[in-house]
Chain A
Amino acid sequence: MASRLRAIWLVASFDVVESLRSRKAVVLLLLYALGSFGGSAVFIRILGAIRERLEEEVGRAVDMKELMKSPGMARVAGALTGDVDVAGAIVAIPPMALFYGWLAMNFVPLLVLFTSVDAVSGDLSSGAVRYSLFRTERLSWALGKLLGQTCLMAVGVLSGALASWLTGVIWFDGMAVADTAFWLLRISGRSIVYSFAYLGMVLGASQIARTTARAGGLALVVMFLASVGGSIVQAEPIAERAPELMNALSKLFPNGHHLWLWHPGVVQSVSAMVGLVLIGLAYFGLGFWRFSRRDA
């Protein structure tokens, strides 16, 4: 067991070094951080405009916390989420952290697709895998790749959070600096867990296809189907017909856990995280099932 863990660690750390030295990952992570920076700046401008409009209407200065905790905002959040508890939790999150959460959960899956799709398929197509597989078991090697790419994704998510926080520090008047940093860290953790489900899909595809192009195509199709499938089973007309069945089915898709990730209850948020990790592992395992039986 110890030697397997050591092998996983060795493969993961080498994978991170290799990815960073290839510069492709660095460029993509920088682009993502820049996107976070730019998106946050635009968000601050929109927020400022809303506040100005509101101040004109009420005829006095409006505090951002006041705005977020206003009954109107609670109604909007409640309507969007359909869950009073989640809506209450969301309006308590500092706006910059809330925006970054939205950004990360929408864009990190795409970042993962671009950075990780060649993690296994690249080594298969170049033959580089042949230098490793007589030295360590396929499972350790594949898990090492998964761990390495998870670390890389975590670096990306955290660098995006840092970019968002810095944008707020520079341009967002009255931002609660420490509180926002704390929430950005919490939300980054949730985003990493959420994106892990997609990382599992990408690495699953990367183990099945022999070339990076095919793996990319397969991963895109799987991600698209998972996204559409999750939306269909949660769509009101369908969900109303068999709510329990549809609710259970929704847990098979990443977006079926999306809402509970924001839930203030520990049981709900932890179960969402466990569900997302299991989805990621299931897709990864499916890919490994093929990889373990194929000629490398």
Chain B
Amino acid sequence: MSTPALAIRALRKHYGRTVALDGLELEIPKGVISGFIGPNGAGKTTTFGIVGGMIRPDAGEVDILGRGPLEPARHAGSVTLLPQDCELSPFVTLRQLLTHYAELQGMTRADAMRDVDARLEEVALTDRANARIKTLSHGMRRRVAIAQALLGKPDLVLLDEPTSGLDPELVVRMRDVFASHRKKRTLVVSSHNLLELEALCDHVVFIERGRCIRSGSMAEVTEQGLIMRYTVERAVELLPLEQAQPELEMTWEGKTLIVRGSRGWTPAHLNATVAPFLLHQNAGLLEIRRGKSLEDAYLAGKAEAEGNVEGADDDGD
């Protein structure tokens, strides 16, 4: 098994009486774009802070790229971070700032300048390269912050709410930028926008109250291999299909039919069986979707975790 890009074991951190991380355990494989999902206060930013060497953990281990916790000398430019809500130096120009960061992570001046030009192009700020940071809008500053996280050839990039404050067009553009780094490096993206993460990520981590409640590939977590969702104009009687295919598990959620296949079934096989039936029944087929939505998967994972906690509490009682 290959070394994960990021492995976290029993990580704990508290601020006074507030527990931010409560024995967090997770592994993120190399080369994926991983969505780091959780509510406010779940511990996402603290985790990024600890991995990035900004925050000292109370206990636990962090292993980055199989080389232990972050040591700038040891990891030399292989880990970069986009922190949340941190100001950039307002008085220097974009080019000055990014060149400084690139040199600081070990690049030569010539390489740094070349890379800065490429990153500015990537985030569509080439025409503002010589503008001072303080003259930029919030969205532009956010793009500068994204650009600094993509400088050089980092193996692991941590992005904390990268698209907050960007307009929809730029959100799409930035998503394409992140997607273009797929397989070349590991990106861990924290966001509350589950639709955005669903479109971008191939791996997800759900975090809740400082613990990882579920993680895995997007296909696994959203059960894309086993579940199909058919949205129709009107719900129809399913008995004929149930009699013909007793191994299928079918339920209506409003006007969406959720079909779960057992082992051996593929999405194509499910479609070939269910779609003709719905068409034949004049259900008015509107949409076919693989798996659960990420939102549903997250809410299900959360409910399951809460159930476990309550169960444990009950046992304790």
Q: A residues near B, CB below 8 A?
A: 3-4, 7, 10-11, 14, 17-18, 21-23, 126-137, 293-296
Contact = CB atoms under 8 A, between A and B. Distances in A.
Contacts of B81: 130-131, 134
Nearest to B149: A131
A131 B88 contact: yes
Contact of B104 (A7, A18, A127): A7
B60 to A, nearest CB: 15
A134 B88 contact: no
B104 A296 contact: no
A3 B92 CA distance: 24
Nearest to A7: B104
6 closest A-B pairs by CB = A127-B86, A126-B87, A21-B91, A130-B83, A135-B105, A135-B104
A131 B148 contact: yes
Contacts of B286: none
A29 to B, nearest CB: 16
B129 interface: no
B109 to A, nearest CB: 10
Interface stretch (B71-79, B215-223, B246-254): B71-79
Interface stretch (B46-54, B114-122, B193-201, B275-283): B46-54
Contact of B73 (A3, A11, A21, A128): A3
A127 B96 contact: no
Contact of A131 (B73, B101, B103, B132): B101
A121 to B, nearest CB: 14
Contacts of B148: 131
A21 B92 contact: yes
Contacts of B96: 14, 17
B153 to A, nearest CB: 14
B72 A18 contact: no
A18 B54 contact: no
Given A126-B86, A135-B80, 7 more contacts: A11-B104, A14-B92, A127-B86, A128-B87, A134-B53, A134-B72, A135-B101
A293 B55 CA distance: 9
A18 B70 contact: no
B75 to A, nearest CB: 8
Contacts of A3: 73, 76, 106
B56 interface: yes
A234 B86 CA distance: 47
Listed residue (B52, B79, B88, B89) with the most chain A CB atoms within 10 angstroms of its CB: B89
Contacts of B85: 127
Provide the main secondary structure of the chain B interface.
Answer: loop
Contacts of B145: 131
B290 interface: no
Interface in B136-163: 145, 148
A133 B54 contact: yes
A128 B88 contact: yes
Contacts of A131: 81, 83, 86, 88, 101, 145, 148
B100 interface: yes
Contact of A295 (B54, B83, B87): B54
A18 B91 contact: yes
A132 B104 contact: yes
Contacts of A128: 86-89
A106 B70 CA distance: 44
A132 B83 contact: no
Interface of B: 49, 52-56, 70-73, 76-77, 79-81, 83, 85-89, 91-92, 96, 100-101, 103-106, 132, 145, 148
Given A131-B88, A133-B53, A134-B79, A10 B72 contact: no
A11 B72 CA distance: 15
Contact of B52 (A4, A134, A136, A293): A134
Contacts of B49: 130, 295
A242 B56 CA distance: 46
A182 to B, nearest CB: 37
Contacts of B79: 134
Contacts of B54: 129-130, 133-134, 295-296
Contacts of A132: 101, 104
A126 B54 CA distance: 14
B56 A295 contact: yes
Nearest to B57: A295
Contacts of B132: 21
A137 B86 contact: no
11 contacts: A18-B92, A23-B91, A126-B87, A127-B85, A128-B89, A131-B101, A131-B148, A133-B52, A133-B53, A134-B54, A136-B104
B84 to A, nearest CB: 9
- Interface-central residue, A21, A129, A293, by most chain B CB under 10 Å: A21
A9 B104 CA distance: 10
Contacts of B92: 14, 17-18, 21
Which among A3, A126, A134, A296 has the highest number of chain B CB atoms within 10 Å?
A134
B72 A137 contact: yes
B132 to A, nearest CB: 8
Residue picked from A10, A128, A130, A294, most chain B C-beta under 10 Å: A130
Contacts of B104: 7, 10-11, 132, 135-136
A132 B98 CA distance: 11
A136 B101 CA distance: 10
Contacts of A129: 54
B83 A127 contact: yes
Nearest to B54: A296
B72 A136 contact: yes
Contacts of A14: 92, 96, 100
